[in-house]
Structure 1
Amino acid sequence: MTTPESASESRLPTGGLVPVLVAVWANIGVLVWMLIRDADDVRWGYVGGPFALAAATYAGHRVVRVAELPRPVRVFWRRMEIAAAALTITAIITLARANNNTGMSPWVAVPMLVGVGWLMTAFLGLPGPRRTALHWLRGILDTLTIAIASGLIFWYVVLDLAPAGTSLANKVVAAVVGVGGVLLLVVVGKAAAAPETVVHPAALRVLTTGPITCVAGTILLIAGGELSRLALSVLALPLTGAAICIGAYLQCRALNQPSQLSFPARSVFNMLPFVAVVATAGLVITVSAQDMTARQRVVIIGALLITGCVVARQLLSLRENTMALRGIRRQQDELERLALSDNLTGLPNRTRFLVAIGERLEAEMPVTAVLIDVDDFKMINDTIGPAAGDQLLFQVSQRLRDRCTAGEMPARLGGDEFAVLLPDGDPVAAEAAVNRLLLALADPFRVGEQQLLLHASAGIAIADTGEGADEVLRNADIAMYAAKESGKASFVRFEPRMRDEMMNHATLAGELRNGIARGELRLLYQPVFDLVTGRLHGCEALVRWQHPVRGFVSPGEFIPVAERSGLIVPLGAWVLREACEQMAQWRSQFGDGAVEAVNVNVAVRQLRSASFVDEVAAVLSDTGLTSRDVILEVTESSVVDGWQVQETLQGLHDMGVRLALDDFGTGQSSLSLLRAFPVDVLKLDKSFVDGIADGADRGRLAVAAAVAQLAEYLQLKAVAEGIENQEQLDRLRDMGYRYGQGFHMAKPLPAADCGALMAADPVNAA
């Protein structure tokens, strides 16, 4: 079975350590050469550069090839690959010109500047917090400050120490490369200090080795001693190659880790503008001491002292601001923790879960949302009480937390709804992960002295291109409801057709609401006959909908829509009142010849209402009927819904209204229901009547016979549903069934046709 971990690892290319090993050995080779070097032939010292940077180029290309790589990361490492390739050319040219001691030549500088430019482009292109015009202006000013200061220092200090005879071109090239290295160091440092970037922070920090060696190498190449110049000359490019290889390796290892919300750390690189001002001030003092009069020097020194005081004052303000910012961040962290976590379980809440999905979608990373809902939790909570219910939810959260693997994030969305974010877009791996989580909830829970067995339903939604976080979670919710409708204790993966079905249901629900108001619905009546005498004994009210545009809409289509949307309550109220008014008319028209009672189906949502008993009493009073004139039919799933339903049923029974258990025999707890449920009528489900005539299915025969005997023993009325031929009728009557309904005797009829049966002679039941 495929797991999320194995699926993630399978996406990483093989050979991840090979470039790192090549680059490391290249640097070791250079160090060994330094110990045994030949002063007349330095070419061997530069051999490590091409190898290390070629390995870096391959390492960058390897990261780009990773499947499902987020676009910003792909662009960053593509640029790093190009930069490494340009520096590889630099290393090859340096190797070819190693014995020509001509300093920093344009042949070396041009590809080096190209590489530095691509490195800077890679880091500047990283996505980060939204930058305002003020941020851009501040960044430009910082850059100009650092560039001017480092340029002056290179020109007046570093290049002053250059060996005699160094050409102006070499000096200019060295200054440009050195200043570019300083600016690159600032850019890389700021990026490495911002952990909200999509590129792994550890990889970014390793990459600061490149610009540091670039700056140091340029300085020592011009102004250093012979040994230091040689060491940095031969080690600068190999060290840069090793840094890129290690950074690429760290990035590959971190690709499947979900992003985390965090605040950028205060970077030491933010101090560089102040360092640049101080260094420039020192340079001005030094230069002015050589060329100016005493009076001019005093003015210059005074101005510089004022500048120093301003800089010191700014540094103190910066420190105060930093301390204040730390306090604000601590408060923000606490507020964020409270705003983004669930108080009961400590898990991330709905807001945090949506933020995490949004972050991965924005970074174009794969993401799968799993919505988990505890089945029948309302009934459990009503039974054990809210406090014990909270304990149970906490234990559920702990199970999910414990069974989630690295990169998976569990959350509680509210009530008994939980969710898990999977950092994967593979359907097989997602289904394996959901199986693992549902199995974790299948073991018994202990709450106080009670041991409870739970099961849950789950919906899986794999994010598609262009979808938002809300849409992904909504898709998971749709799939979860599909799992519940398919029988609970299972999971369903979202498919686009489910959304279309949901939209159709929503549209149909709106039309149904209008249809109830406009009187588009009508009742038909399914006759219930006495199988012995053949007389009409009762009838069951069945609702039908004649849509003005759609035409006839099947109850199997609009009843589930009514139940899901809550319209079943007003619809059920209309059916009850309409059926009772019709029963009153039959009583007035036929007297004792009318049916004994009218059967009305009642939904579980109606039974959950504390006012339903009063509603039935009001309808009976308004229509002049007694409680014996109506039979309310309920299903087994309705009866076990919770204590509110049980109280409603008991209230109806105490009022004298007879109750029928519909579709009897199909549930899992039918016999136990008869002990707790005040039932008057058992209706044998049609599935046990089908095929009963030929006797081939002995199981159906046994169940049908047992229900008849059970009803007789408990002094209940037994009614067989779905009788479609005379053979079925004869067999059921022989078993002891007194009453039955089905197409063999009569289809659902309009009220007038049903009334005609009341006035007619008995149907021949022989």
Structure 2
Amino acid sequence: MADDTRVPSRYVWITAGLAVASLLWYLLFSTVGAGHVAIAYVAVPLEGLVAVAALFRLWRRVRSEPVAGRFWRALLIAAVFMTVGYVLMLINAARFSAGDMPPDMPLSAAVAVGLGFALAMWAVARVPQGAVSPAERWRMHLDRVVAFLGCATVLWHFGLAPMLTATERWSPQTLTLVGLAFLLTIGGITKVSYLGDGPVDRTAMRLVATMGLAAAGVAVLATTFGNAGGVPSQSVVLPMAPVLLVLAVRAQGTARLGRRRVSRRSSPLLPYLAIAGGDLPLIAIAAGPLQWPGRVSLLAAVLVSVLVTIRQFVAFRDNKLLLRDIRGQEVRLQHEVSHDGLTGLANRARFRDALHTALENGESATVLLVDLDDFKTVNDSLGHDVGDRLLVAVAHVLDEACGTDALPVRIGGDEFAALLVGGTTVGETVAQRILDALESPISEHRLLVQASIGIATAAPAATVDGVLRDADVSMYAAKQRGKAGFVRYEPGMEQPVLAHIQLGGEIRRGLDEGEFRVVYQPVVLLETGKVIGVEALVRWEHPTRGTVPPIEFIPAAERTGLIVELGRFVLRETCRQTAAWLAEFGPDALQKPGVNVSARQLHDPGFVADVLAALADSGLSTDRLVLELTESAVLRGSQISRTLHELDRHGVKLALDDFGTGESSLSLLRAFPAAIIKLDKSFVDGIEIDDANPAARDARQAVARAVIQLAGALGLDTVAEGIENEAQVEQLRALGYTLGQGYHLARPMNAGNFTALLASQRDAVAA
């Protein structure tokens, strides 16, 4: 609508040009006496015609809007009347003027101009003030009365009063027009000061009200110069009124119509200005011919009003500052309520509100749930401060990757999210941007972090919890598929995930019900077949599912944290059973009972205490226990390293399991206090004869030979794992291995069968 109501700038330029031309003529007239005095009356009617044209153009475009159309129609009619009046004044000046004295205003011109002023006043008065409360309305009326009286006092004292009391009597039509102009000025300024934005533009209203100040200029010139002030009034002061009117039309034309907003509160400054205006006549009177006691009283009254005004203004300023502080605190509190304190992203509450709003409005909503992979390792190895800085860096990456397409959110911990509303951007696009951004090291510590992302789009009639559950299911599926990727939710995807989650609850119940058993796989001397050690393994005898393989329940125990309690059970049972075997078969019956330990257990602050307590309760010495760890667990950071060195100081032996499969196997031996190396099964398979791939066989033999030589140089024991046949035994013996473990030598067995094995071994030795 702004373009439809725009008024061309040429109207402003024409009226301004006429006003400037009239000013230049007056300068020539007053200096060299150039031209007839009637020329002073030319600019105003010409400008009036331009103003009428501009008003008519605007009215045609806003007449469909009731308030604006009524206001500008009234001003159009008023401008026509005033223009007609000034045309009549021009004709009168051209016919009857003599010399340089301006002619008297004819009655017809005075009536026309007076009607114009009256219509303008009526138009300003009818502009609605907007919806306000009763209390606000009374305050507004009171402020208006104060402002009206203050402005009227100034204009009366310096304008109308001198004209009424002048020695040379002014014509009634002149006094009437000046009075009407003053009323328009006072009423208009007061009205506009308390008018909110609406169909009639506030700037346009101000310009219309300011037109009356031209009358104030006429009055000042009249009281100062008498009839001689008529020429500058007509040629310099009055031409400004049409310019202001055209500027008002221009302001209205460029404003946006039809949007009624609530009126603003009464202006707090205008009453103070009104009081100051009321003091000006008092000061002028005090400076006049008065007795000194009266002058003192007037000056004291002025001083008191000034001080009260200053005091009230200071109070107003303080209240305004206080209110601004309160509003600032409200903004900060609102931000804290809806944003995460660490990263500055939106928090869970705002995320849920935004998702709820989108679902209620029927908009397309897609949720990306972003979970950092192995973030706990950063906290445990580098400390929580480094972890927090990494979270801030991840938040920055997420914010940049989302851009304007999505709302980035920190759900909590190392879990983030992104909400896409509207369906203009595909969730996979944002997810890929996030993964691409995380391919480079981030944060001031230049850490490389990966994330698993689940994507879920709200189905019709979906709920907030339902969408979040689907996103969580797909995120978990992404982790199951190898991490550092994204997966979109599909119906039915939750079944295996829920089954895995339910498995955690089953493990909890199984621990409470004593369903877990420990089995033992012997470690034997390859030369004689004598059992010298054992590896403890856990089995789950489920009441309905039978024996559950470790590959199924160990990951669930790791994810739920139950691996700590499960590992504690295996450790204590192994120590107890080993002590019983040693008591029955002697101290040489079993040298190296081994227990597998996960990285999650090593992160537990009470792990060392658990180990020492299990040894103390069973009466087993620390040098009898072997803790087996994978290379990936050892590489989990400084906290695990401190735990392992503490166990080594207590005399507990540490074995590096699956040796040779990691990326830093050799470097680990310098920092890791290992006593035993267990050669991974992958280097034992095919080590004997592999006619199909002799190069692979030679490579396995080379690795096995290098490991035994390295272990010998470092004084470490070695155990070859996964021996499947006698040929492998012979080849390993040829390479220098003395200890082995595998199904060919002995399968895992329960405590009773292992007891029988030890008994038969003792009997064989005795025989």
TM norm structure 1: 0.54
State the match for 1:506 in structure 2. Answer: 501
State the match for 1:438 in structure 2. Answer: 435
Distance 1:689 1:469 in 2: 53
State the match for 1:650 in structure 2. Answer: 645
Contact 1:535 1:762 in 2 (8 A): no
State the match for 2:335 in structure 1. Answer: 337
Deviation at 1:536, TM superposition (A): 0.9
Deviation at 1:627, TM superposition (A): 1.0
For residues 13-28 of structure 1, the aligned pairs below 5 Å read: none
State the match for 1:679 in structure 2. Answer: 674
Pair 1:474-2:469 in alignment: yes
State the match for 1:460 in structure 2. Answer: 455
Pair 1:602-2:597 in alignment: yes
For residues 212-291 of structure 1, the aligned pairs below 5 Å read: 268=260
Deviations 1:224-247 (A, max 9, x none): xxxxxxxxxxxxxxxxxxxxxxxx
Distance 1:476 1:709 in 2: 52
Say which one has the larger Rg: 2
Contact 2:381 2:636 in 1 (8 A): no
Give the 3 Å change call, closer, same or farther, for CA 619–395 of structure 1 in structure 2. Answer: closer
For residues 493-572 of structure 1, the aligned pairs below 5 Å read: 493-572=488-567
Which residue identity lines up with residue 421 of structure 1 in the other structure?
Answer: L
For residues 414-429 of structure 1, the aligned pairs below 5 Å read: 414-423=412-421, 429=426
Deviation at 1:417, TM superposition (A): 2.3
Which residue identity lines up with residue 375 of structure 1 in the other structure?
Answer: D
Contact 1:372 1:480 in 2 (8 A): yes
Distance 2:401 2:506 in 1: 45
Deviations 1:21-51 (A, max 9, x none): xxx9xxxxxxxxxxxxxxxxxxxxxxxxxxx
| Helix, strand or coil at the partner of 1:268 | coil
Contact 1:424 1:430 in 2 (8 A): no
Pair 1:748-2:743 in alignment: no
Contact 2:658 2:681 in 1 (8 A): yes
Which residue identity lines up with residue 705 of structure 1 in the other structure?
Answer: R
Which residue identity lines up with residue 430 of structure 2 in the other structure?
Answer: A
Residue 659 of structure 2 is aligned with which of 643, 659, 664?
A: 664
Give the 3 Å change call, closer, same or farther, for CA 683–498 of structure 1 in structure 2. Answer: farther
Deviation at 1:761, TM superposition (A): 4.8
Deviation at 1:567, TM superposition (A): 1.6
Which residue identity lines up with residue 437 of structure 2 in the other structure?
Answer: A
Distance 1:708 1:465 in 2: 64
| Helix, strand or coil at the partner of 1:760 | helix
Distance 1:500 1:396 in 2: 31
Pair 1:394-2:392 in alignment: yes
**Structure 1, gaps ≥5 residues long:** 1-23, 25-204, 206-265, 272-323
Deviations 1:361-403 (A, max 9, x none): 2223222222223333333345554444433332322222222
Deviation at 1:665, TM superposition (A): 2.3
| Helix, strand or coil at the partner of 2:595 | strand
Distance 2:353 2:713 in 1: 62
Deviation at 1:628, TM superposition (A): 1.8
Deviation at 1:270, TM superposition (A): 7.6
Give the 3 Å change call, closer, same or farther, for CA 492–737 of structure 1 in structure 2. Answer: farther
Give the 3 Å change call, closer, same or farther, for CA 530–665 of structure 1 in structure 2. Answer: same
| Helix, strand or coil at the partner of 2:519 | strand
Which residue identity lines up with residue 344 of structure 1 in the other structure?
Answer: L
Which residue identity lines up with residue 547 of structure 2 in the other structure?
Answer: F
Which residue identity lines up with residue 268 of structure 1 in the other structure?
Answer: R
Which residue identity lines up with residue 581 of structure 2 in the other structure?
Answer: W
Contact 1:627 1:655 in 2 (8 A): yes
Deviation at 1:578, TM superposition (A): 0.9
State the match for 1:133 in structure 2. Answer: none
Give the 3 Å change call, closer, same or farther, for CA 517–452 of structure 1 in structure 2. Answer: closer
Deviation at 1:541, TM superposition (A): 1.1
Which residue identity lines up with residue 621 of structure 1 in the other structure?
Answer: A
Give the 3 Å change call, closer, same or farther, for CA 702–352 of structure 1 in structure 2. Answer: farther
Contact 1:355 1:469 in 2 (8 A): no
Pair 1:624-2:595 in alignment: no
Give the 3 Å change call, closer, same or farther, for CA 704–333 of structure 1 in structure 2. Answer: same
Distance 1:369 1:565 in 2: 25
Give the 3 Å change call, closer, same or farther, for CA 573–493 of structure 1 in structure 2. Answer: same
Contact 1:684 1:704 in 2 (8 A): yes
Contact 1:534 1:763 in 2 (8 A): no
TM norm structure 2: 0.54
Contact 1:534 1:762 in 2 (8 A): no
State the match for 1:177 in structure 2. Answer: none
Distance 1:505 1:399 in 2: 31
Distance 2:763 2:494 in 1: 49
Which residue identity lines up with residue 716 of structure 1 in the other structure?
Answer: L
Distance 1:596 1:497 in 2: 51
Deviation at 1:583, TM superposition (A): 0.6
For residues 318-333 of structure 1, the aligned pairs below 5 Å read: 333=331
Contact 2:452 2:485 in 1 (8 A): yes
Which residue identity lines up with residue 650 of structure 2 in the other structure?
Answer: M
Give the 3 Å change call, closer, same or farther, for CA 403–529 of structure 1 in structure 2. Answer: same
Give the 3 Å change call, closer, same or farther, for CA 562–389 of structure 1 in structure 2. Answer: closer
Distance 1:389 1:348 in 2: 19
Deviation at 1:333, TM superposition (A): 4.7
Deviation at 1:681, TM superposition (A): 1.4
Deviation at 1:527, TM superposition (A): 1.0
Distance 1:595 1:536 in 2: 7
State the match for 2:738 in structure 1. Answer: 738
Which residue identity lines up with residue 428 of structure 2 in the other structure?
Answer: E
Contact 1:663 1:683 in 2 (8 A): yes
Deviation at 1:600, TM superposition (A): 0.9
Distance 1:664 1:731 in 2: 19
Deviations 1:75-110 (A, max 9, x none): xxxxxxxxxxxxxxxxxxxxxxxxxxxxxxxxxxxx
Residue 361 of structure 2 is aligned with which of 356, 363, 373?
A: 363
Contact 1:408 1:421 in 2 (8 A): yes
Give the 3 Å change call, closer, same or farther, for CA 474–641 of structure 1 in structure 2. Answer: farther
Give the 3 Å change call, closer, same or farther, for CA 381–514 of structure 1 in structure 2. Answer: closer
Which residue identity lines up with residue 417 of structure 1 in the other structure?
Answer: E
**Structure 2, gaps ≥5 residues long:** 5-197, 199-257, 264-321
State the match for 2:374 in structure 1. Answer: 376
Taking only aligned residues, the RMSD between alpha carbons, in angstroms, comes to 3.4
Pair 1:692-2:687 in alignment: yes
For residues 159-198 of structure 1, the aligned pairs below 5 Å read: none
Distance 1:385 1:517 in 2: 34
Pair 1:715-2:715 in alignment: yes
- How many residues get paired? 450
